[in-house]
Amino acid sequence: MASAIITGSARGIGAAIALRLAKDGFDIALNDISEKSFENNDIMERIKESGVKCEKYIADVSKADQVEAMVKSVKEDFGSIDVLVNNAGITRDGLLARMTEENYDLVISVNQKSVFNMMRYVVPVMMKQRSGRIINMSSVAGLHGNAGQFNYSASKAAIIGMTKSAAKELGSRGINVNAIAPGFISTPMTDALSDEQKKAIFDMIAMKRYGSVEEIAGVASFLAGKDSSYVTGQVIEISGGLSM
């Protein structure tokens, strides 16, 4: 059976993608930064209801040595790695003039370097298979910028460059690489925004509602499945018309 690894998948968008890919028939390798992320959480049981295999792997994806060990274990446990979803991400928002070097480096490391780390170790596996799908989680902030998110926007814009470069490099090897750029999706990450910030974003959304994690998972399912076999190097914005 084909398998998928989704980073940062204990909750939020990552968990919804894992559930959807399980419904699509993929065996699922979950990842998150700590065992605590999976506490009071029935994600593994819900995935197994689809009749697929599911294992969880604790690793900080910003750390190359932890990623190398995790990818080795996933390959041993599942036999192949057919889909990689680089979803793990954090925010440390603040105005540029007051942003600390620590918060700049942390966001670049977790959001951007993690994508390099994961692709660095998963791509050789996919190259041997001569097939694979990689889905990188960018953001509308990476496409258009966002005040108060200098570090986050930098990391998410870099992911677009990485996606296109890898798509050009790996297209002839049967590996498709695409990015998703969500707008405002209701998750613990966006719950942390102030009511004022939420209203400012809401006013810009053409569809006058926030997105759901399932609406991101549906597009991830398309990019992981056979109907997107001729789609690579693309960034799909899912934002209810926040920008166009």
Q: Edge-to-edge strands of the sheet including 175-182? A: 54-58, 27-32, 3-6, 83-86, 132-137, 175-182, 235-238
Q: Which is nearer to ligand NAP, 126 or 135 (CB)?
A: 135
Binding to ligand NAP by residue 240, rule CB under 6 A? no
* Nearest-angstrom CA–CA distance, 175 and 156: 21
**Which of 3, 87, 228, 232 lies at the binding interface for ligand NAP (CB under 6 A)?**
87
Binding to ligand NAP by residue 60, rule CB under 6 A? yes
- Identify whether 230 is a catalytic site residue: no
Torsion-angle region of 161 (φ positive above 0: left; ψ -120 to 50: alpha; else: beta) = alpha
Binding to ligand NAP by residue 144, rule CB under 6 A? no
Question: Which residue among the candidates 104, 152, 210, 230 is catalytic per the annotation?
Answer: 152
**Which of 47, 84, 90, 242 lies at the binding interface for ligand NAP (CB under 6 A)?**
90
Residues 149-188 touching ligand NAP, rule: CB under 6 A, are 182, 184-185, 187-188
**Which of 137, 154, 177, 220 lies at the binding interface for ligand NAP (CB under 6 A)?**
137
Closest approach, Cβ 139 to ligand NAP, in A, equals 4
Closest approach, Cβ 194 to ligand NAP, in A, equals 15
Site of tokens 């918060």 = 103
Closest approach, Cβ 91 to ligand NAP, in A, equals 7
User: How many C-beta neighbours within 10 Å does residue 69 have?
Assistant: 14
Closest approach, Cβ 203 to ligand NAP, in A, equals 16
Binding to ligand NAP by residue 129, rule CB under 6 A? no
Q: Which is nearer to ligand NAP, 86 or 172 (CB)?
A: 86
Angle between helices 213-224 and 12-23 (to 10 degrees): 50
Closest approach, Cβ 171 to ligand NAP, in A, equals 24
Binding to ligand NAP by residue 221, rule CB under 6 A? no
Nearest-5° Cα angle at 42, 37 to 45: 125
What are the catalytic residues?
A: 152
List residues near ligand NAP by CB under 6 A.
Answer: 7-8, 10-14, 31-33, 37, 60-62, 87-90, 110, 137, 139, 182, 184-185, 187-190
